[in-house]
Chain A
Amino acid sequence: MNTLIFRTVAPFLTALMVLFSLFVLLRGHNEPGGGFIGGLIAVSALAIFGIANGIAAVRKALWFHPMAISAFGLFIACLAGLLSMVFAVPFMTGLWVYPVILGVEIPLSTVMLFDAGVYLVVVGAITSIALALEAGDDL
């Protein structure tokens, strides 16, 4: 599969898919999408990149160890839940703020933070499995 065309197209495809996955993540609250699906799309993107350009390239592009990304996701998901404790409401109660930036009201919430955590957990965990399997003995 390592054709020249595939190798050349793969990075662009990956970039587009990752962008799309973020889009899916963010629209998830009102349209079909969300952290799980977004995460899976991002993993597919990375898988394509890996098949085309090799494991080392993916690792370099990720910068962090995928498991660390996953753990960070779990961390911010917990944080999103715990934030509600500060405001003396039960664990995992959604909190919303509506800052107005450049005249546009942007709803932000702990729920979104939580979904981002889900996204990162899925991306990290599945990527690390895929990479470990794809890698040869040079683990």
Chain B
Amino acid sequence: MTPDTMGLTFLAFCLPFLGALVAPALTRLLGHNAAWPLALIPLAVFLHFLGFNAEVARGEIVTGGYAWVPSYNVSFSWLIDGLSLAFLLLISGIGTLIVLYAGGYLKGHRHQGRFFSFILMFMGSMLGLVASDSFLMLFVFWELTSITSFLLIGFDHAREASRRAALQALIVTGGGGLFLLAGLLLLWNVTDVTQLSLLMSFGAEVRASPFYLPLLFLILGGAFTKSAQFPFHFWLPNAMEAPTPVSAYLHSATMVKAGVYLLMRLNPVMGGTPAWETILPAFGGLTLLVGAVLAIRQTDLKLMLAYTTVASLGLLVMLTGFGSEYAVAAAALYLVAHSLFKGALFMVAGLIDHETGTRDITKLGGLRGAMPVTFLAALLAALSMAGLPPFFGFLAKEEIYVALAGGSLRAIAFTAAAVIGNGLMFAVAFAVALKPFLGKRVETPKHPHEGPALLWIGPMLLAVKGLVIGIFSAVAHALLTSPLASAIAGKPQTVTISAIPHVGAALLLSALTVAFGIVIFLVLDKARAAANRLVEDIGWGPDRGFDQVMRGLVRAAVSVNRLTQPGRMEVYMTATFAVVALALLVPPAVYGEWPRAPVWPANIPFHELAVMLLAVLGIGAVLAANNRLTAIVALGIQGFCVALLFLLFGAPDLAFTQFMIETLSVVILALAMTRLKLTPRDHRSLREKIPDAVIAIACGLGFALYLLRVTQGRFDTALTDFFNLYSKTIAHGANVVNVIIVDFRGTDTLGEIAVVMVTGLAILSIIRIRKGGKAGGEA
């Protein structure tokens, strides 16, 4: 990679984020037409990555990047092979159309600029995720997609349903991200590499590692939550609360595919083991069936599509883990085909909603006259989704059946799952594409007419692309799907399937699927009722389970909080000092590390003795004081005596600071005491005083013993020598203490003064609250 391309690639990764910065201002300036200039950003990214196509198609892997934190071996580096490139192109290509679509869909919306900003940020995170080479970068972008999708799903933040959906998505996918982090750290430990490109040659080590199973669970924890595999599938349909451009983007090519991406990326490293080939297809197949059945149940266009997305993701996971060359090729084909038709259909659903005011399939009909272009786009996309020739979806489905068909029990089971799932999706595809357009005209909340070009360009282009790729499959295979399949398999693969049907088991299964789909489509209302009954009989679902878990968590937090934060100062003080005393006294008792009895020095100078005596007198005065203020001042005597001792033993800096601190703490304590409106005298009875006294004495004793022990140990002068030696030569200062504070350990000091300031702010606000929250005025 030449430096020029490297810089440009880096720019391509930054561009969406830069776009997010200018989007609000641009939208204020141009209104919804800001979509046109903003769409240039993903387009530029798309074209840039298209330039890598030739290299990648030759089987090369493009890597590049910059050192980020070299001391920790962390880099901002990318890896572009067939898998990354396919994702990069899908994300930026569909992203371009989505930006345009959002321009039309949210026209006149108060926060359209904010929306553009969010979606571009999301796009940037997604691009970074699929191109990351370093583990850390992968994780950072992974969590960034969770956070930005939270913003997108909760975009309509005034509605509770959308807030809940956003939070749910964040908790499920963000929580999954933590599994991923743990998994990546474990991978790092096992292989000692932090880059995916290097990891590829460690497959055997990883699979043979004793940590393989925990590793697998951690990675799957990340991938399954992100890609909405059963039983974590519930967040995806709930996320339909988001505006349709979000659904079309997140749930076709991007967010939910991230988990699938991760599995495909790690397939050459972790795949091929019995665990991988059991867990992945089992969960994938189950998700496929659950998603398809739940899709049939819905009447809302977007929800129908959402559940088929769940089903499709299940299919992809199943194929990724199935473990044959054809399965990998099928996964590659289906991945691309699904992104195209699902993106188009979601946009169609939004378009219908936008123009008619409803997306309930039972309240729609006869729109073909009013919205012919939409109808055409829907039909083309549905044909691909249904898997009919010569559409791209057909190729994918044929390859799936070629991969799955076989004589073993395992093959038969998964083939059956695929046929049922695909058949149900076939029915849903046509329900979405036909029901609203055919039949009698039904009255809708808004008078329907064709949407503006901004709205139908996207679905139309994607749907047509599904047809074009299907027809010119040889080109697509050479440029896109073969490198993609090779990257997933970890070795060169050629995808050869074309739109011309071949007689064989696969075609037979396809015919079976189509027949089953047509039957379901014809009896859709009855099938819906049956699916409804089934779900109602089960009653409980993971969605409710999520609520129960969250409620339990909140309840546990509240009870812990009540236990530990009763709000009484006495309890806090007692607890704090009791713990201090225990921490000081228990370890020496356990390890037998008591100090030796100190030898009383023979000739202590008179003035030192006097100072010590004065300190003791100060303490006595504190105890004897019958008035709080007197006690505070008496405590000051003791403090000054200690400062004097510091001075006598040659620590002027410490002594000065101690003097000032004592002065100020007496002033501030006295002020605080007058503020607190306490009784001037101590109100504790003797029975309360005794435990307090015990704790106080234990603390004092603990500190005294601790200091004795420390001073009796051998003093390591390495640091002292270092600072004495270099204070003048490196830091140009003769006062070692000050040089340490402001230079050698300056970053510590920076943290400390930040704490000082924040503490000041906190105290200030507490005082203000005490004054009854009177705002305004000088404080």
Contact = CB atoms under 8 A, between A and B. Distances in A.
Interface of A: 24, 28-37, 40-41, 43-44, 47, 59, 65, 67, 70-71, 73-74, 77-78, 81, 91-92, 94, 96, 107, 109, 111, 114-115, 117-118, 121-122, 124-126, 128-130, 132-134, 137-139
Interface stretch (B101-109, B403-411, B534-542, B651-659): B651-659
Interface in B657-677: 657, 660-661, 663-664, 667-668, 671-672, 675
Interface string B741-779: 111001101100110110111011001100100100111
Contacts of B749: 77, 114, 118
B724 interface: no
Nearest to B657: A37
Interface string B327-356: 000000000000000000000000000000
The 6 closest A-B pairs by CB, nearest first: A125-B760, A40-B660, A32-B652, A133-B671, A30-B734, A29-B733
Contact of A126 (B664, B672, B675, B742): B664
A49 to B, nearest CB: 12
Given A30-B734, A129-B763, 5 more contacts: A33-B735, A40-B657, A70-B757, A77-B749, A118-B753
B753 A37 contact: no
Residue among B733, B735, B747, B753 with the most chain A CB within 10 A?
A: B753
Q: How large is the interface on B (under 10, 10 to 19, 20 to 34, 35 or more residues)?
A: 35 or more
B159 interface: no
B738 interface: yes
Contacts of B653: 32-34, 37
B746 A114 contact: yes
A125 B664 CA distance: 13
A32 B735 CA distance: 6
A67 B761 contact: yes
Contacts of A109: 732
A37 B735 contact: no
B753 A117 contact: yes
Given A40-B660, A47-B667, A121 B756 contact: yes
B731 interface: yes
A67 B664 contact: no
Q: Which among B733, B734, B738, B763 has the highest number of chain A CB atoms within 10 Å?
A: B738
Given A44-B663, A67-B761, A92-B746, A30 B735 contact: yes
Nearest to A137: B771
B661 to A, nearest CB: 7
B739 interface: yes
30 contacts: A24-B656, A29-B734, A29-B735, A32-B652, A37-B653, A37-B657, A41-B660, A44-B660, A47-B667, A65-B778, A67-B760, A81-B746, A81-B747, A92-B746, A94-B743, A96-B732, A118-B741, A118-B742, A125-B757, A125-B759, A125-B761, A128-B760, A128-B779, A129-B760, A129-B767, A130-B664, A132-B763, A132-B768, A132-B779, A138-B777
Given A29-B732, A139-B771, A130 B667 contact: yes
Contacts of A78: 750
B660 A37 contact: yes
A78 B759 CA distance: 18
Nearest to A134: B671
Task: With a 10 A CB-CB cut-off, give which of B737, B774, B778 has the most chain A CB atoms.
Answer: B778
Nearest to B651: A32
A117 B747 CA distance: 13
Contact of B664 (A47, A81, A121): A47
Contact of B767 (A33, A35, A59, A139): A139
B756 A122 contact: yes
Give the residue among B757, B761, B777 with the most A Cβ atoms within 10 A.
Answer: B757
A5 B731 CA distance: 46
Contacts of A107: 732
Given A33-B735, A71-B757, A129-B760, A139 B743 contact: no
Contacts of A59: 778
Nearest to A74: B757
A21 to B, nearest CB: 10
Contacts of B774: 139
Tell which of A65, A71, A118, A130 has the most Cβ of chain B within 10 Å: A118
A128 B764 contact: yes
Contacts of B739: 29
Nearest to B661: A40
B767 A133 contact: yes
B734 A139 contact: no
Contacts of A91: 747
A139 B779 contact: yes
B629 to A, nearest CB: 13
Nearest to A107: B732
Contacts of A81: 746-747, 750
A67 B779 CA distance: 9
A56 to B, nearest CB: 9
A126 B768 CA distance: 16
B757 A124 contact: yes
A46 to B, nearest CB: 10
A30 to B, nearest CB: 4
Contacts of A28: 735, 738, 742
A33 B653 CA distance: 6
B753 A77 contact: yes
Contacts of A133: 668, 671-672, 675, 767
A81 B753 CA distance: 13
B116 to A, nearest CB: 32
Contacts of B660: 37, 40-41, 43-44
B649 to A, nearest CB: 14
Contact of A32 (B656, B778, B779): B656
Nearest to A39: B660
Given A34-B735, A133-B672, A92 B667 contact: no
Contact of B753 (A122, A128, A132): A122
B395 to A, nearest CB: 54
A34 B763 contact: no
Contacts of A114: 742, 746, 749-750
A92 B747 contact: yes
Contacts of B746: 81, 92, 94, 111, 114
Contacts of B761: 67, 125
Contacts of B764: 67, 128-129, 132
A120 to B, nearest CB: 9
Contacts of A41: 660
B652 to A, nearest CB: 4
Contacts of B753: 73-74, 77, 117-118, 121-122
Nearest to B730: A94
